[in-house]
Amino acid sequence: MKAIILKRGREKSLMRRHPWIFSGAIAGIEGHPRAGETVDILAAEGAILGRGAYSPRSQMTVRVWSFDPQEEITSAFFADRLSRAAEARGALAAGEGPPGVRLVNAESDGLPGIIVDRYGEYLVAQFLTTGAEYWKATVVEELVRLDGISGVYERSDADVREKEGLPKLAGVLAGAEPPDLVEIREGPCRFLVDVKRGHKTGFYLDQRENRAAIAEFARGAVMLNCFSYTGGFGIAALAAGAASATNVDSSAPALALARRNAELNGIDEALLENVEGDAFTVMRRWRDEGRMFDVIVLDPPKFAESKANLSRASRGYKDINLLAFRLLGPGGILFTFSCSGLMSAELFQKIVSDAALDAGCEAQIIRRLAQASDHPTLLSFPESSYLKGFICRVMR
């Protein structure tokens, strides 16, 4: 038997069905498990609490596959979990036009370390942990059986794999290789996705519902989209009748693709401005010039990678929100986000509130935002609720 034995009293999180076991909670290891192998999880008294994947190089030593001591971790287990995850997204995947949808959301679908996004007829997968890597061939074998899939492409090139002692990998796993750009449809908009070189798996699918929400505020608005990537929020605003949209991003290739996305949607190029540069620097310049906007979107990258830099990240979020409030007049609308899992919604609200105060304006939160429904939050795993956002309205 291969097993890890918990220290006395450290089974409490497992009893609440939290799927992570850190090295400090482990009293002993039996059977010399290899990286990625399945181990029984034993309480100090010997009771089996579940089964998980062993990761000797990570501080997160075990990630739980199942809390059922009787459930075997076999190919049938993965077939069942993958089938259930895909079925739960059936309506999104069956919508008009080629879909862009997350089919598997790691721990929230009972599959730690495994992310699968669908772009049209292609799946883009990430295997981010030793357990996911161990079972990769099995997972891919099940994925190619899904209806309408031509190929599975790997984007296991995230930095987190290094913490697991795994190399970064990318390339075709099964079937046909996707083209350089894959088209998807999102509501009334169409987007080209760079699944091979784009951020993460190519597109920020978690913002789908928030991009749709901008239509309510866009008509006739002068809109600013900071950290714009390939222009998702800007395209959504222009499609909803915005007077103009300005994308700001540090990546020239991302902005070039934003321009192509505008063309794909039949948007007049005169309505779209793309500015390459650091958003903080650009916004400070426009503040000094007195430039104003009606709607601003702030969707920055993860500022807080660890607890140690949470304070620095908080300053970054405050600075960018302060600049946004100074570029908005009375009645202006701010969509502001944090994708840092370590940033609580309460702390983020305080930061945005302090930014408004320092900008000398009063603002209201008129809606709270989160990740899209195909990125569910497991109730016993609050860490999976990483994206938080507010729609704020400037009062004066």
Q: Are residues 328 and 275 in the same domain?
A: yes
Q: What pLDDT does residue 91 have?
A: 85
User: Does residue 194 lie within any of the structural domains?
Assistant: no
Measured on CA atoms in the order 225, 275, 185, 116, is the torsion positive or negative? negative
Q: Are residues 79 and 171 in the same domain?
A: yes
pTM, whole model, 2 decimals?
A: 0.95
Average pLDDT, rounded, for the chain: 95
User: Does residue 185 lie within any of the structural domains?
Assistant: no
- The total number of structural domains in the chain stands at 3
Q: Are residues 59 and 79 in the same domain?
A: no
Last residue of a domain, one of 157, 175, 193: 175
226 part of the active site? no
Find residue 105's DSSP bridge partners: 115
Q: Are residues 50 and 85 in the same domain?
A: no
Q: What pLDDT does residue 115 have?
A: 98
User: Does residue 189 lie within any of the structural domains?
Assistant: no
Q: What pLDDT does residue 222 have?
A: 98
User: Does residue 192 lie within any of the structural domains?
Assistant: no
First to last CA, the chain: 67
CATH number at residue 31: 2.30.130.10
Element containing residue 127 per DSSP (H, E): strand 122-127
Is 254 in contact with 235 (CB distance < 8 Å)?
A: no
Q: Are residues 289 and 374 in the same domain?
A: yes
User: Does residue 253 lie within any of the structural domains?
Assistant: yes
Q: Are residues 346 and 287 in the same domain?
A: yes
Q: Are residues 22 and 82 in the same domain?
A: no
Q: Which of 226, 339, 361, 392 is catalytic?
A: 339
Q: Are residues 135 and 283 in the same domain?
A: no
Q: Are residues 228 and 363 in the same domain?
A: yes
The CA R_g of the chain, rounded to the nearest whole Å, is 22
Write out the residue range of the structural domain in which residue 270 sits.
204-394
Q: Are residues 24 and 156 in the same domain?
A: no
Per-residue pLDDT tens digits for 198-247:
999 999 999 999 999 999 999 999 999 999 999 999 999 999 999 999 99
Tokens of 225: 């989209």
User: Does residue 197 lie within any of the structural domains?
Assistant: no
Q: What pLDDT does residue 235 have?
A: 97
Last residue of a domain, one of 129, 154, 175: 175
Q: Are residues 154 and 123 in the same domain?
A: yes
Q: Which long-range contacts (CB under 8 A, 24 or more apart) does 99-102 make?
A: 99/184, 99/185, 100/184, 100/185, 100/186, 100/191, 100/193, 100/203, 100/205, 100/208, 101/205, 101/374, 102/205, 102/206, 102/372, 102/374, 102/375
User: Does residue 231 lie within any of the structural domains?
Assistant: yes
User: Does residue 210 lie within any of the structural domains?
Assistant: yes
CATH number at residue 156: 3.30.750.80
Q: Are residues 42 and 92 in the same domain?
A: no
Choice among 22-26, 92-96, 187-191, 380-384 with the minimum mean pLDDT = 92-96
